[in-house]
Structure 1
Amino acid sequence: MSDDEKNPARQIITDYAQSHFRYFRTADGTVYAQRNGHPVARPIRSQGTTGSHRQELMVGLFRDGIGVFNGTAMKEALDLIEALALTEDVQPVHIRVAPGYDGATWLDLGRSDGQSVRIHPTGWDIRTPDPKEVCWRRTQLTGELPLPAKDTNGKGIDLLMRLCNFATAETECLAIAWLIGCLGPSVPVPAPFLTGPQGAGKSTGGRMLVRIIEGMTGDLRRAPKDEENLIAAVAAGWVTALDNLSHMTPDLSDAMCCIVTGAENVKRALFTDGDVFRVGYRRPLLLTGIDVGVIRPDLAERLLPLRLERPKVRRTEDELWAEYAEALPVILGSLLDLTVKVRAAEAETPTDLRMADFAHLCAQLDAATGLGALAAYRASLDDLNDDVIEGDLLAQTVLKHAAGIEPGTEQRMTSAEWLHCLTGLYTGEDFRPLPKGWPTTGKVLSDRLKRLQPTLAARGVLVDWGRTNTARYIEIARPSTAPVPPEQEAAF
């Protein structure tokens, strides 16, 4: 085909595309196409199985009777459209949950018609969002949610609790708080860790929680073997659920910390020498397992233990999930009703907890319902501190040494001196061998103590670092009085 014949085809495709689609770019420079009046956007370079923009453009040209064009004309037209879109305004795209105008947030129902839930300060309703307000991105992990039921009177929450095997009322209110947090696009929420004896329904309970947000196709999956695959899975969905964890490597633990509170990954762009692309992510995370072994202190502050118990009556999978699917519209409607009520409640923000946004959400839930979620959250963190100490011989040795320090006093030594002191205390008179992973230098000891600092502080042992004119030192102290929790202080 001659150039004279190619140019009209390229121009026809470009004119059709610009009249039927809106093109824009995101902050990382990716160009998206959005059909006029529809909130779902697709990257124009995508070749994904969920439907690429190239495919929908070809189908539109064919169905509108304009014609079928060869790949060269289509490529040239998309190249031009992409270049033109790079001069347009920047707009973000969102998966499942997005901020909106006037304090509202949106929940993508994953429907082909684009209908979504708008959660606003006075209630919630179902509508198709303005494409300039919300741009949804869909992937294979974006399942379809049913239309939520109205006027449920809280019945859906009761149905969910009956279907799950949560051991205590405190566990139930923490699960509810986490679900409400999942509907907030800017609130980091700790990762629920569903645990309990074998046969307690941990995987089933995890699926039920995930499918409230991700639809009936949402499921648990094994933890990827490397961080790169984990980040790819996280970026493609909203809730990431990892099943049956039995061991947690330091790299996986660090990656989970980043997923919960947010991080960014920079990689070299394909087929380039110097260009890069950025992947930012912060997602709700859910874990299940009986025991993951030693939990690192930084991850412990980002976990939400939910204990389940073995059901007294067993049911078939078909029967259980049929009942769940029937109840899901009511469960989702009740969750939305409760979310509106909680967001309208006023409460003080606890300032002594790492996940302050989630702690504030728990306080709002208490103000709206009186469930006692904040106290349950504090108790869960206290239990996790015990788990960290039980799995860390260095922490146990520091607490043993601190027990001999007079309250209100402190001890200062260099890191090397502390290493000698703590090593001698651990080995004792019988010179028992040091465990694997015991610090070998003062620098390693100092780094380990920095990780353990919040855990030790929760047990009344304060660790600090300083410098004199001659050397740096580490200070271990016991305060004269234990700190009073904010809720108890307010009662005095």
Structure 2
Amino acid sequence: MGDDEKNPAREVIADYAQAHFRYFRTADGAVYAQKLGHPVARPIRSQGTTGSHRQELLVGLYKDGKGVFNGTAMKEALDLIEALALSEDVQPVHIRVAPGFDGATWLDLGRADGLSVRIHPGGWDVRVPDPQEVCWRRTQLTGELPIPAKDTDGKGFDHLFRLCNFANAGSEVLAMAWLVGCLGPSVPVPAPFLTGPQGAGKSTAGRMLLRVVEGMTGDLRRAPKDEENLIAAVAAGWVTALDNLSHMTPDMSDAMCCIVTGAESVKRALFTDGDVFRVGYRRPLLLTGIDVGVIRPDLAERLLPLRLERPKVRRTEAELWAEYEPVLPVILGSLLDLTVKVRATQAETPTETRMADFAHLCAQLDAAEHLGALAAYRASLDDLNDDVIEGDLLAQTVLTHAETMTPGQPQQMTSTEWLAALSRLYAGEELRSLPKGWPTTGKVLSDRLKRLQPTLAARNVLIDSGRTKAGRYLEMTRPAPTPQHEQPELP
């Protein structure tokens, strides 16, 4: 056969690829390759050093006797495959946790054989998911989880909390609720903030909570210096765990709020004039540290403080992990058992909290196990409100002014008038200098009070705004106590 009768190398590669892989696109237009019968998908344009689709093709072609092909032929073949895949149906890819059919949820165990956990209303089981139902995407942050143990009778949480130094039962039950929330692909969960004195084992406890979901290779990381690097790290994994936080800039605080409740980043694609790519993210977040300074109100509503104490008996890291790793299958099995039980339980959704989905999960946990999760969550929010007020002199001044108000009688002034009144109150008879960061204009004051609205409302001070013919105004109200209805006397 002459050279002109032979198939070009790009056609050999394209024919082989389409015979052994399924190609599809995601909503953002990225094309993925999925080996037939296997749930793991890889982006065809990935140039990763390990596990890229290009490497899969090269190895498969060589082992099946098709030969070794140069980069030009491979590029031309992948260009054709990508163009053909853009006409295929859209299917999402997921990292670690994914929704399935019939109300099920899947947990990727990160194994080479594709075994995953299917959590469904009737229980949970381990199997390889149908590639049409779930497509896993894996990165270098995707660790391997053990096969979970069956019939644990809740012993896994006993093992876990014996190794952690939580200061009270409230922190333990909130940690349980957070772990259950991590297995929900569409439920935003507040970020646990592990706090306590030096030597309380915050980093170790953080790793233990993280590794229940991410496996033994999961680890804590230092907070990136900017939002762009933070988003890149978040998009590549499921749980993002940041260690030893001591300071948080306003931009980083806003970015963490977006991570918890979900957002999208749009950037210009490299080497193009007008193309963009989208990165959507909503991930569980875990933080550790002794103190991060002043907490902004919007972030406080998305935090879950878990307090630790110094252990009475010190143990080495090697001893702790030697005890943790063998019981990880039991811990994971107990978590799956509890997740099934919680999801099968009906409960009313509390409406007074910002993170209503997590509050509902706590209510379900209480209905299923009677652990006081919702009360612990409300108490934690109350503590965080105290932290916000202690770090904000404007909030303290507003509360001082509110104490002089007649309950039930709102006060209306322009933002400039409120600024003058609050500034005089802070300065007092001593004519103290206004502190750094104090509002300098009525507009700045109005914006600050809007941020403080939830915190002040938790202290029975309501801030509202409106407009009349004379202009805009701010209204402050201290609601009157709700009268108690007299109980009729029993005969």
TM-score calculated relative to the size of structure 2:
0.97
Deviation at 1:99, TM superposition (A): 0.2
SS in 2 for 1:178: helix
The aligned amino acid for 2:107 is L
CA distance in 2: counterparts of 1:254 and 1:483, whole angstroms? 40
Partner of 2:141: 141
CA distance in 1: counterparts of 2:142 and 2:463, whole angstroms? 46
Partner of 2:53: 53
Deviation at 1:50, TM superposition (A): 3.3
* Structure 1 runs (4+) greater than 6 angstroms displaced: none
CA distance in 1: counterparts of 2:3 and 2:307, whole angstroms? 69
The equivalences for 1:65-464 within 5 A come to 65-464=65-464
Partner of 2:63: 63
Q: Would the aligned equivalents of 1:195 and 1:305 in 2 still touch at CA under 8 Å?
A: yes
Deviation at 1:76, TM superposition (A): 0.6
CA distance in 2: counterparts of 1:336 and 1:110, whole angstroms? 16
SS in 1 for 2:424: helix
The CA deviation string for residues 172-210 of structure 1, in whole angstroms up to 9 with x for no partner, is 000000000000000000000000000000000000000
Deviation at 1:6, TM superposition (A): 8.6
CA distance in 2: counterparts of 1:69 and 1:257, whole angstroms? 48
CA RMSD of aligned residues (A): 1.3
Note closer, same or farther for the CA distance 1:76–1:6 as it changes in structure 2 (3 Å cut): farther
CA distance in 2: counterparts of 1:268 and 1:28, whole angstroms? 13
The CA deviation string for residues 139-180 of structure 1, in whole angstroms up to 9 with x for no partner, is 000000000000111110111111111000011000000000
CA distance in 2: counterparts of 1:85 and 1:271, whole angstroms? 22
The aligned amino acid for 1:102 is D
Partner of 1:488: none
Deviation at 1:482, TM superposition (A): 6.1
SS in 2 for 1:42: strand
Deviation at 1:225, TM superposition (A): 0.3
CA distance in 1: counterparts of 2:421 and 2:449, whole angstroms? 14
Deviation at 1:360, TM superposition (A): 0.2
Deviation at 1:8, TM superposition (A): 2.0
The CA deviation string for residues 218-245 of structure 1, in whole angstroms up to 9 with x for no partner, is 0001000000000000000000000000
SS in 1 for 2:410: strand
SS in 1 for 2:8: helix
Q: Would the aligned equivalents of 1:99 and 1:105 in 2 still touch at CA under 8 Å?
A: yes
Q: Would the aligned equivalents of 1:50 and 1:138 in 2 still touch at CA under 8 Å?
A: no
Deviation at 1:49, TM superposition (A): 2.7
User: Which runs of 5 or more structure 1 residues have no equivalent in the other structure?
Assistant: 485-492
Deviation at 1:258, TM superposition (A): 0.2
The CA deviation string for residues 8-67 of structure 1, in whole angstroms up to 9 with x for no partner, is 211111111001000000001000000000000000000113311000001000111111
SS in 2 for 1:340: helix
User: Which runs of 5 or more structure 2 residues have no equivalent in the other structure?
Assistant: 485-491
Note closer, same or farther for the CA distance 1:100–1:429 as it changes in structure 2 (3 Å cut): same
The aligned amino acid for 1:283 is R
CA distance in 2: counterparts of 1:245 and 1:171, whole angstroms? 19
The CA deviation string for residues 300-322 of structure 1, in whole angstroms up to 9 with x for no partner, is 00000000011111111111101
Note closer, same or farther for the CA distance 1:219–1:458 as it changes in structure 2 (3 Å cut): same
Deviation at 1:97, TM superposition (A): 0.2
CA distance in 1: counterparts of 2:310 and 2:452, whole angstroms? 34
Partner of 2:489: none
Partner of 2:487: none
Q: Would the aligned equivalents of 1:6 and 1:73 in 2 still touch at CA under 8 Å?
A: no
Partner of 2:22: 22
The CA deviation string for residues 444-469 of structure 1, in whole angstroms up to 9 with x for no partner, is 00000000000000000000001111
